[in-house]
Structure 1
Amino acid sequence: MPTKLKILMILTSSATMGEAGEPTGLWFEELATPYYTFIDAGASVTLASIMGGPAPIDPRSIKAKGENEASVDRFLGDGAASQALNETASLSAIDAIEYDAVFLPGGHGTMWDLPQSPELAALLTRAWAQGKVVAAVCHGPAGLVNAQDETGAPLVSDRRVTGFTDSEERAVGLDAAVPFLLESRLRALGGRYENAADFQPFAIADGRLVTGQNPASSALTAKLTLEALYGENVR
């Protein structure tokens, strides 16, 4: 077993869907489930966001206590985790070399600010060049679209990837609201896009690049991230 893993989770700072102003943000379960998968495996987790400070939560992803996914209720009752979410580090304060992996949870907010952040693109490009694991789930792969591999090609180019499908976006009625369709963009960048049926769990590890399709895939994406780090199967 290697020394204690350090995992950086980068969250959206976008609380609204562009000029339309509809509330959005981070999909809570896509943070909470991977967060505790990593914590329970003995890793340390740092929460950062595009702007720093409190990370917005999509109001559709949180219910009254006792009605959420178990990981969400656990997070809500965890003072240290809640404080970290309210005091996220800004990307400008982060050095990727300090971490073993970078993980991007989803939520529709990611579609607006992650692709527009040159700091994020540079951080992911550096992390990849340094041999780190790069992972993202659901809309989180929107943060990968401007990252490059060691050859200068798009990070997703000629690599197996997944993310929220175009048909899933249509099913939730937001295909006209988002600035682009994620599946289509990943394909246009040369990604070897794969998916399961809509809203079914599905994740892929192509070497150090790990992606998950939708909210149902967060646990599997986190598991594959640990496997990529440890180089072995994780139960």
Structure 2
Amino acid sequence: MSKAKVLLIGSNATRIELQGGRTAATGQYLNETVVPAIAIIEAGYGIVLATPDGTKPHIDEISDTPDHFGGDRTAYDRAKTFYAQDPAMKHVRTLRSVIEEGLDQYAGVFVPGGHAPVVDLMQDPDLGEILRHFHERAKPTALLCHGPMAVAAAMPHAREFRAALIAGAPAKAAEWARGWQYAGYKMTVLSNTEEKIVEDHILHAKLYFNVVDALQTAGGDVITTKTDFEAHVVEDRELITGQNPRSDRPLAEKFVAALDRSLVSA
């Protein structure tokens, strides 16, 4: 019997828009999904994986390497096996179905990164409903790397906000962001200098907007490290955010600690 259940929100996006009308393959990062998931389970919690359409998230091929596990082949193999075979990763629900069955049964929510959440999750109305539920009850809400961009879904006009960012209209985006529940929260997300490395060496093109700028436009107090790809986690009230792939373990530790505190105070 687990202590409680945690909702793991996955993306179904497989392509992301690039400037010039192109797109690039995308998905979730393997380590960002699996490392926290295993830590949550090992801490005694159960996991329910849910996505917008109820199908399993696609793992970004760029992340499918031992390099994202500190070069540890054993850890990488364990992660691959876990994602492929663990029941928690095989039985995927829709976001709508978990809402209809009741969100009160979940102690916390976690959103991993990869660019995918910037495509679908940040403008998904069901995720918006989920985030507002956890925010209103001050339940632990953790997001990693590009995952923190998903908190935009809680806005009253998340789709319009994203469309304004793509159109290069930050002032209009700020208007659409009015009433955002996380305005004024301290948070982190993949930094602009880290994103430039991704654009230059992986995407070979520019994205329509940087996630740091987007969250700042919405009213977030975004804090990033001066050193690229240095582990960094920010915790403010119920919100726990990690900056980059190397923040997977530190974020998991803070999230589990927050879940434990939440259970004690319940």
Question: Which amino acid in structure 1 is aligned with residue 241 of structure 2?
Answer: T
TM-score, length-scaled by structure 1: 0.87
1:12–1:110 contact (8 Å) kept in structure 2 = yes
- What SS class does the counterpart of residue 157 from structure 1 fall into? coil
Corresponding position: 1:8 with 2:15: no
In structure 1, the residue matched to 2:16 is: 17
Question: Which amino acid in structure 1 is aligned with residue 32 of structure 2?
Answer: E
- CA distance 1:230–1:14, change in 2 (3 Å): same
Q: 2:186 aligns with which of 160, 170, 174?
A: 160
1:1-235 alignment, distance < 5 Å:
4-18=3-17, 20-63=22-65, 70-78=74-82, 81-95=85-99, 96-147=103-154, 153-173=179-199, 174=203, 177-196=206-225, 197-231=227-261
Structure with greater proportional helix content? 2
- What SS class does the counterpart of residue 22 from structure 1 fall into? strand
Number of matched pairs: 228
In the TM superposition, residue 146 of structure 1 has moved relative to its aligned partner by 3.1
- CA distance 1:73–1:134, change in 2 (3 Å): same
1:52–1:87 contact (8 Å) kept in structure 2 = no
In the TM superposition, residue 101 of structure 1 has moved relative to its aligned partner by 0.5
Counterparts of 2:81 and 2:196, CA distance in 1: 34
TM-score, length-scaled by structure 2: 0.77
Counterparts of 1:69 and 1:185, CA distance in 2: 36
- Between Structure 1 and Structure 2, whose CA radius of gyration is higher? 2
- CA distance 1:81–1:192, change in 2 (3 Å): farther
- What SS class does the counterpart of residue 231 from structure 1 fall into? helix
- Listed one character per residue, the Cα deviations across residues 69-124 of structure 1 (whole Å, up to 9, x for unaligned) are 65442132238754543442110111322211100000111110111211111111
1:35–1:45 contact (8 Å) kept in structure 2 = yes
- What SS class does the counterpart of residue 60 from structure 1 fall into? helix
In structure 1, the residue matched to 2:168 is: none
- CA distance 1:175–1:103, change in 2 (3 Å): farther
2:30–2:63 contact (8 Å) kept in structure 1 = yes
In the TM superposition, residue 231 of structure 1 has moved relative to its aligned partner by 2.8
Counterparts of 1:222 and 1:50, CA distance in 2: 23
Question: Which amino acid in structure 2 is aligned with residue 14 of structure 1?
Answer: A
